[in-house]
Amino acid sequence: MNTIITIGREFGSGGRELGRRLAEELGFDYYDKEIITEIAKKTSFSEQYVQQIIEKNPHDLFPITVGHSFSYVDSYALHQKQTIFTEQDNVINEMADKSNCVIVGRCADYILRDKKPFRIFVYADIKSKVERCIKNGTAGEELNPKKLAKHIKKIDKQRRSYYEFFTGKTWGDKLNYDLCVNTSSVDIKEFAKHLADMFKDAEK
């Protein structure tokens, strides 16, 4: 069976960077935005819409279609979300079956639970997340620190809602992960090397 590492992460925590560097250190395939691209290929939805569904609150999103009754639109929207999640499930399983890999986000820890992935959750304090976003320019240069902190909290709330809606599990709960990493004062590049060494030692 392939070695699979999943990365759940708070926005601005550096989880994506950790996943990418860990994959590089281990020589594993790395999947992140590629998942969105594959879902779009398998459905009639654009990558932008797939991303919107995955990043937004699944309870309050509605399709870009008007002219229907509220109840029908609500039902139709839910059907679209379920379609996307089904394809997400298929795509992530296909990727995990191909080779050793690191998969970031998209409920991969839950979707691949029968394959026993090593599940990592990455978090940080709000000050560190704001500073990292400003440094990397990942949340809009026009946002000042106060607005950026609000933006980060909003995205984390959306991620929590999406994860809990589709998995029935608590996002960020330590019981759902094998390792929880606080990156508030961590050099991610160095930590990725140490973490990779841990996996290499475990395979000996």
Nearest to 45 by CA among 104, 96, 94, 85: 85
CATH architecture, domain 4-194: 3-Layer(aba) Sandwich (3.40)
Residue 52: pLDDT band (50, 70, 90) is confident
| 3-state secondary structure (DSSP) of residue 5 | strand
Distance CA 78, CA 58 (A): 8
| Residue 60 reports pLDDT greater than 60 | no
Mean pLDDT of the chain: 87
pLDDT at 139: 61
Mean pLDDT of 62-86: 60
Specify the pLDDT at position 85: 84
The 10s digit of each residue's pLDDT in 89-98 is 999 999 999 9
Q: Which is more confidently placed, 166 or 69? A: 166
The reported pTM is: 0.86
74, 61 in Cβ contact below 8 A?
Answer: no
Q: Which residue has the higher pLDDT, 183 or 140?
A: 183
- The better pLDDT of the pair 202, 24 is held by 24
Confidence (pLDDT) at 90: 95
Choice between 113 and 63, residue whose per-residue pLDDT is larger: 113
pLDDT at 129 over 80: yes
User: Is residue 56 over pLDDT 70?
Assistant: no
Residue boundaries of the structural domains of the chain:
4-194
Mean pLDDT confidence for 40-59: 79
Q: Is the pLDDT of residue 57 over 60?
A: no
Q: Is the alpha carbon torsion for 23, 24, 27, 32 positive or negative? A: positive
> H or E element: which one contains 102?
strand 101-104
Residue 67 clears pLDDT 50, i.e. is over it: no
Beta strands 118-123 and 179-182 are parallel
Whether 78 has a pLDDT exceeding 60, the answer reads: yes
Nearest to 162, CA basis, from 57, 22, 65: 57
